[in-house]
Every structure is written in C-alpha cells, then in structure tokens.
Chains A and B, each alone.
Chain A
C-alpha cells in the first residue's frame, strides 16, 4: 500500500531536483503554521468556554432591592432551602468598590442606594423555582438572576469564534488542496517529455503517478515539519507571555493533553491530504492527456 513511498534510486532519478524545490514545501509550511495556531486558539477558546460554563452553571445571584434590611431573612431562607450548597452575602463595601470603577467617586457615596446581593451555589438537581419562592417569601421583591444568563452573550461569542476557527482550518485545508493541484499540474508540465517517453514504452498511469505522489508527499512532509516547528515556537512564546493571564482566568493550562495530540496530528493530516490530492490530480490529468 505504501510501496510508492520507497522508490529505488533509479526511480528517484526519473524526476530530477532535490527537496524543497518548487512551491509545495513553502505552501505547506505556511498552511501548517496557520492551521496549528488557529486550531490552538480555537481549542483554547473551547476550553475557556467550558471552564466558564462549569463555573457558572449552578451559580445564581439574589438581588434584594430594599437593601440590607431584608438581607438576613433572605440569607436564612436561602441557606435553609433544599438544594442550596452555599449562600454568601456580597459585602456592601465590595459592591461599592466595584461601582467606583464604573461611576467614579460617586460609587462610594453613602447616599447612593445599593441593593443587597447574595451569591448562591446550588446542587445539580436543585429545584430553582422552590428556592426562588422561599427567598421571595422572606424578602419580597427579591430577583433571582442566573449567572449563565448574564454571561450567555459572551459564551455565544466564544462559540462563534470556535466555529470561525474550525471554518478557517477547513478553508486552509481547501486552499492547500488547491495549491497542491496547481503544483502537481506544474510538475506534470515540467516533466511532460519524460512522461511521454515513459508512456510510450509502456509505463502505466499509476507508475507515473507514484513518482509525482512520492515527490509531493516528501515535499509536503518537509514543509509540514517546518511549519509545525514554527507554530510550536510561536505558541510557546505566547504561552510564556500569557500563562499567568490564562492561569488567572482559567486556573489551568488553556490546552489539555488531547488538544496537544490533535495539534501534533494536524501536520501529518495535512501531508496525507496533500498526498491524496496530488495522486488524484495527477491521475486525472494523465487520463485527460490521451
């Protein structure tokens, strides 16, 4: 099945020219680099979105408009409700500090009314309606706000970016295929006289194709390795500068074990794609010839 890959010295001499001649290695190197960095970004976004969802899935805020007067009753009601894991009030000072960053010094003015806020973590199967009812009974007018609802626009944006990354990877694969088709046709044109002689003395299309397929596969492999090395270096540089930020945001590395495996397989997938496309293009071109 892979016999075509192991050509004899005589077969290698039929298509002259060493490695890294022609556009294929360079196109594949650039595409590999771009695909790996885009894919890494997409995977990191996916992991970040997963972590955010995991963190807020069961977290709610209870807003009490009347302020701190009803806070103790609401807190007691929340803590006694079945399914509530934790219920903690947000200190007023912390809320005013947050407001200060938006409103300036007016945010810490005692005259500015600030609602009381309770953060709730509930169990996976908690009855949210029953909890909300119990809290509302203790503190009329209390609003139950799911963190998920607040962050949904951000999560949607992250999902769009993930799909965009996937689409970019697919587009780059298509562009790579188109470049390989052009390179294969160019190579056929360059070696037209050799092909005519080979056909004339009984070479099959498959024999001719194997020569070009092997050359393009090796050129692609060289390009893919170069592109992958460059991508790894850039990703390491980015990780070096952004690890603290990413760690603060996510509490762990933005890429996991399986992500690294996928990224490592990407250059080889591109080589397989280029080789398959080259074989198809060469065979199709030869069959059109006569």
Chain B
C-alpha cells in the first residue's frame, strides 16, 4: 500500500522550508505529496506563499531546507546541469505571463518544442493547432505588446501546455480572461489532466474551483500547509485512474 502511494506520487515535499536571503521563512515545514495525474487547486490568502511554492515546483528555486522529489528523483541539491531535463517535463503559466516581447505569439508558443529539439516541421502543426484552440489563430504573428492581457495569458497557457507536460503549474491562469474563456482554459487543463498530466493551479477564483469536479484543494496559510485530514501526506489515486510514465 505504502509502495503504491510512493509510486503514484509525482511530487514529494519533506520538511521543506524556503527563505529569501536572510529574511524570515516564507514557506515552513511543507510535508506533502501530489498524486500523479491529479488536479489540484492551490489556494490561500495573498502572501501565504503560493507563488513561492510554485517556484519550488517548477524548479526555479531550491529549498533552503528539506527535500523535494519530482518524478521520483531527489532534486533539492541536484546539479544545475540536470535540472533542464526535468523542467521540460513541467509546463508553467506565470502570473505575469513572461512572454518574450520580441517574439511573435507563434514563436512564443513554439519555444518549448524548439528548446526540446523538435525541428520546424514538427513544430508548425502543433503550434497552429494550439493557437486555434486558444482562439488566436489569426494572431500568430502578433507580438505580445500588441495583444490584450487576456490574449497574452492565452499565449502563455498555450506555451505551457504545448509539450504536454507531466506537471502543469499555473499561477492565477485565468486572472485576465473573461468567464467564458476562463472556462475554456480550465477545460483544456482538465483535458490535459485526463491524459495524465498533474495540474496545480493557484487561484483565488472559487467559481473556477467549484466548476472543476474531482479536483483537490491545497491550502496555504502563512507559509504552512493546511492539511487537517492528512490527505496530502497520503494522496489518493488519480480520479481518472490514469498514470503517465516518466519518459
């Protein structure tokens, strides 16, 4: 039983703490596992540490204490050179989008595929398809500065999901889009989740959480995890009953 749980956990945090410089700890004693192929909403008040936790998840930050295992590998102190391989298995939607301003929407979305070594013939089709999916087929050559906030957010989401990551991390991904587009994007996340992607979405939008059946909630308060039932230490299997191999 314990071995099954270990196998199904794609993210494992053991006594993880994080501080920036010499400041106080922004995350304390995080001790949880995220099940493979599960959908999580990360909630909590502003300043609770949601963005910091996401940074640890997408390997932009190393913990100052504790251990983090992703995809079954201990990565807290992993050499810098091995991290890119793991980052390619994680899709990230940044709160501030972080689109490259001198690249077109097409090039921004294609970036993960190109960095992953795909040639142009393998890039064109998926990127066009993704552009159509997020409703930006006619904006392929537009630069971010000419796109609205919502359009930029959709490009950022398309970039995060184009390579069908094993983990998708999104920080307020629907903050700048209307309700209809927000629901479409959540449907995309759910579809990815059904294909085996573990999805972690930080949001304040309770409507969004309510409209996503089967999702689990993770709550942070003052840098600590609120887990009264202990379900995050022993995650239940994916509601979709599917897992994805660690390719």
Number of interface residues of A (CB under 8 A): 21
CB-CB < 8 A to B154: which residues of A? none
Q: How far apart are A18's CB and chain B's nearest CB, in angstroms?
A: 13
Q: CA A204 – CA B114 in complex, angstroms?
A: 12
CB-CB < 8 A to A202: which residues of B? 84-85, 87-88, 112, 115-116
Task: Name A203's contact: one of B62, B81, B84 (CB within 8 Å).
Answer: B84
Whether A193 touches B114, Cβ cut-off 8 Å, given contacts A8-B120, A201-B87, A205-B81, is: no
Q: Which of A14, A16, A198, A201 has the most CB of B within 10 A?
A: A201
Kindly state whether residue A287 has any CB partner on chain B within 8 Å: yes
Q: How far apart are A197's CB and chain B's nearest CB, in angstroms?
A: 5
Would A14 and B92 count as touching, CB distance under 8 A?
no
Q: How far apart are A103's CB and chain B's nearest CB, in angstroms?
A: 79
Would B84 and A11 count as touching, CB distance under 8 A?
no
Task: Name A11's contact: one of B88, B92, B99, B114 (CB within 8 Å).
Answer: B114
Number of interface residues of B (CB under 8 A): 26
Q: Which of B8-16, B42-50, B100-108 contacts A (4 or more CB under 8 A)?
A: B100-108
Q: How far apart are A157's CB and chain B's nearest CB, in angstroms?
A: 55
Whose C-beta in chain B lies nearest to the C-beta of A11?
Answer: B114
The majority secondary structure among interface residues of chain A is helix
Chain A residues engaging chain B, CB cutoff 8 angstroms: 8, 10-11, 13-14, 16, 193-194, 196-205, 207, 287, 290
Chain B residues engaging chain A, CB cutoff 8 angstroms: 58, 60, 62, 80-81, 84-85, 87-88, 92, 94, 98-103, 107, 110-112, 114-116, 120, 159
Q: List 11 A-B contacts (CB under 8 A).
A: A8-B114, A11-B114, A197-B99, A198-B111, A200-B58, A200-B92, A200-B94, A201-B111, A201-B112, A203-B84, A290-B80
